[in-house]
Amino acid sequence: MKILLVLLSLLFSASVSAQTFLETRVVTDGLIIPWEILWGPDNWLWVTERPGRVSRVNPETGEKRELLSLPNDFAYAEVGMLGMALHPSFATAPYVYIADAYRSDSMIYERVVRYWYAIAADTLFRDRVMIDSIRADVAHGGCRLMFGPDTTLYFTIGETGKDPFAAPSHESILGKTLRINPDGTVPKNNPWPSYRWPTNLIWTVGHRNSQGLAFAPDGTLYATEHGPDANDEINILQKGRSFGWPYVQGICDNEHDPEETRYCRDSNVVEPIFSFTPTVAPTGVVYYDHPRIDEWRNSLLVTTLGIVASTPERPTLSLIQLKLSDDGRSVGEMKPWFSNVFGRLRDLCIAPDGRVFMAMSNRDARHWPSYEKFPSDLIIEIKPPVDSAWVTTTFADTISLCASDSFDVPFKAGGNFRTGNRIVVELSDATGSFAHRTIIGSFDSFGGDVRAIEGVIDARIPDSIASSGRYRIRVVTTRPYRFSDAAASAVAIHARPNPTIQQDAGILRTTPGFLSYRWSIDGELVEADGEMIEPRRSGMYTVRVVDSLGCSGASVAIDVVVTGIAMPMLPRTSVRVYPSPARSHVTIDAEIVSRGSISVAITDVNGARVLARRRDAESGKVLWDIPLGELAPGFYLL
């Protein structure tokens, strides 16, 4: 195994220290102009090489398995076997879509062919031609393929370098982005589905040589675009729109043509969100938002072919990071990485655990002598340094919990952990600060290089929570100390209800206003479910209540001693109270077991007594109307 420790200068960052270390590892070598690199559903890298080869590469060992070889393909200068895409439902439809070039009657053409992957044979078999006879030349071929979230296939085509005015024309598919269904049919919602084939596949127009496509999670489609000697572009592709070539380079500013702004207005041109001048020759692009390399989150990573000379103003031969705005519609910062370390960089892909794999392209037609100092065509892995870690959680925000509640906190984590590492759930204080955090759950310890791990932590809100409020939780690795998103997840926590018991003339009363009451004597439940109980034997009395939020709490036990002949607890009495809500009066309809007296107390929601009545009654049915005229409107307990 080869390990390269690469020092990366952050030339355009004031918020980060001057130097950052990333670790790189050579995955495989001996390639010849790798053009497309994908993370496959088998957890291997799928790679095309321009001379006509498709291989699978084990990302851990570097083992290569050839799936397809087309030695008769035409591979020269910038054309050959280029883009590749895997069917979105590969498990049930193992199709592989490949763009390559061929010669016929001294003419060069490109095509997109669908292959069937035979798993047992580990081989690709030709299934059908999707698009054929695309006029090409030795340059400006485009040919990046990518499936979108809508499962349609997007495909870029250059304008060959000899026919720039074909780019804006709707009579040609040169200089376009095309969109086609996986079965080769035309999507009904293409901009011009009624055009003749294949112009009815056109999605966008006005491109010079687009060699990179990337979708963000929200469906935004980014594309890289080669300019001539300036104004390389990063575009957001939009249905049916023009991107200006050859009349517009970069933004609409009349710098290259006094008619640019007029053309932009008349042709509804979309301006790039970023432009490179002088050229850096951007190729592959990915959208990165994984916590494994936190500094790269919400960024486009762009490989470049560039030129050898590199300055802060001309960051060529670099992997370029473009930090996006929150809405993804603009670029806030540019940083070059690996400047003049590996040479020409062609493409890259992201593994599900956040590792980045990058392919070099130092053996192609633009092989100037200066490139001999760079490595041959390799695939390298980029990963954080030792003693780094990342962790995320999908715990739902703004849930409501009670003190003593248990709940699940799902997490994902990875990195290079030290021995003794634990993954824990931390709870903030009532102000939301983690300065005095409490650990409320943990995951088994582990250490070493962990690519990705996921699980669920059983967490529990402490009984000791004294005040209700909005707290925060986060998931943390302990060695090294890293935590999930700094915003953390908000959680409403309700303190346990804290009822008290008072003795009053032989009756035990507890705090009123709860939804339910359960009394117990020496831990044994008794048949009493109201806010008062008449003790009939000595013992330790407690009451457990449930409040309107569903939170449960118990009183402190009190020691009750019953002396003399204890009166038995009265049999349950049948009582109805109506109407509810009441206005001027309330009626009590009761069946009295034996002659005695009836007492009624009405309290407000705070437990304050606002009305009391008492009367004698014989056994049998009693109807008692109680006037309420002196009470203000509100909620009362009887």
pLDDT tens for 164-181 read 999 999 999 999 999 999
The Cα 173–Cα 193 span in angstroms is 14
Helices (H), 33-98: none
The rounded distance, in Å, linking the Cα atoms of 602 and 262 is 81
Cβ-contact 158, 210 below 8 angstroms: yes
pLDDT for 278 beyond 90: no
Q: What is the pLDDT of residue 118?
A: 97
Which DSSP string do the residues of 263-276 spell out, in sequence order? HHHHTTBPPPSEEE
Q: Strand pairing partners for 255?
A: none
Residue 433 binned pLDDT confidence (cut-offs 50, 70, 90): confident
Sheet holding 609-617, edge to edge: 609-617, 596-604, 636-637
Which of 123-132, 151-160, 221-230, 393-402 is the least confident region?
A: 393-402
Residue 299 makes CB contacts below 8 A (sequence gap 6+) with 287, 288, 289, 321, 322, 323, 324
Each residue's pLDDT tens digit, 542-576? 999 999 889 999 999 999 887 643 333 444 456 77
Structure token pair of residue 631? 């009470």
C-alpha span between 444 and 306 (Å, rounded): 48
CB neighbours of residue 574 within 10 Å: 10
Q: How far apart are the first and last CA of the chain?
A: 80
d(CA 231, CA 216): 23
**Bridge partners, 113 (sequence order):** 98, 129
Closest Cα to residue 264, out of 247, 278, 284? 247
Amino acid at 347: D
Name which of 265, 305, 260 is nearest 283 in CA terms.
305
Residue 465 — φ and ψ, nearest 5°? -55, 120
More confident residue, 346 or 412: 346
- Helix, strand and coil content of the chain, in percent to the nearest 5, comes to 5, 50, 45
Per the listing, tokens 């960089």 go with 345
Contact criterion met (CB below 8 Å) for 416 and 387 = yes
Q: Span 256-285, mean pLDDT?
A: 90
Do 357 and 349 contact (CB within 8 A), yes or no? yes
Name the least confident of 14-18, 250-254, 297-301, 346-350. Answer: 14-18
Closest CA to 180 of 209, 212, 158, 157: 157
Question: Phi and psi dihedrals of 524, rounded to 5?
Answer: -100, 125
pLDDT confidence tier of residue 10, bands split at 50, 70 and 90: very low
Task: Look at 270 and 586; give whichever has higher pLDDT.
Answer: 270
Per-residue b/e over 102-137, b at no fewer than 16 CB within 10 Å? beeeeebbbbbbbbebeeeeeebeeeeebbeebbbb
Q: Which of 582, 581, 524, 584 is nearest to 557 (CA)?
A: 524
Measured in residues, the chain has a length of 638
**Which of 244-253, 558-567, 622-631 is the most confident on average?**
244-253
Is residue 140 within 8 Å of residue 159, measured between CB atoms? yes
- Three-state DSSP at 92 gives coil
Q: How do residues 115-161 score in pLDDT, each as one tens digit?
A: 999 999 999 999 999 999 999 888 888 999 999 999 999 999 999 98
Residue type, 480: P
Bridge partners of residue 510, in order along the sequence: 501
> Is 497-569 in CATH node 2.60.40.10?
yes
Instruction: State CA 439 to chain mean position distance.
Output: 25
Percentage of the chain with pLDDT > 90? 51
Predicted confidence (pLDDT) at residue 390 exceeds the cutoff of 60? yes
In CATH terms, the superfamily for domain 389-494 is Immunoglobulins (2.60.40.10)
Say whether 314 sits in a helix, a strand or coil: strand
pLDDT at 308 over 50: no
What does the radius of gyration of the chain's CA atoms come to, in whole angstroms?
37
Query: 3-state SS of 524-558?
Result: EECCCCCCEECCCCCEEEEEEEECCCCCEEECCCE
* Alpha-carbon distances, residue 26 vs 20, 60, 62 (angstroms): 20, 10, 8
DSSP string, 232-298: EEEEE--TT-B--TTT--SSSSSSS-TTHHHHHHHTTBPPPSEEESS---EEEEEEE--GGGGGGTT
Mean pLDDT: which of 88-97, 292-301, 436-445, 613-622 is highest?
A: 88-97
Q: Is the pTM of this model over 0.75?
A: no
Cα separation, 553 vs 463, in Å, equals 9
Q: Does domain 42-341 correspond to CATH entry 2.120.10.30?
A: yes
* pLDDT higher than 80, residue 447: no
530 and 497 Cβ atoms separated by less than 8 Å = no
Quick check: 205 pLDDT over 80?
Answer: yes
Mean pLDDT of the chain: 85
* Contact assessment for residue 348 and residue 337, using Cβ atoms and an 8 Å cutoff: no
Higher-confidence position of 211 and 338: 211
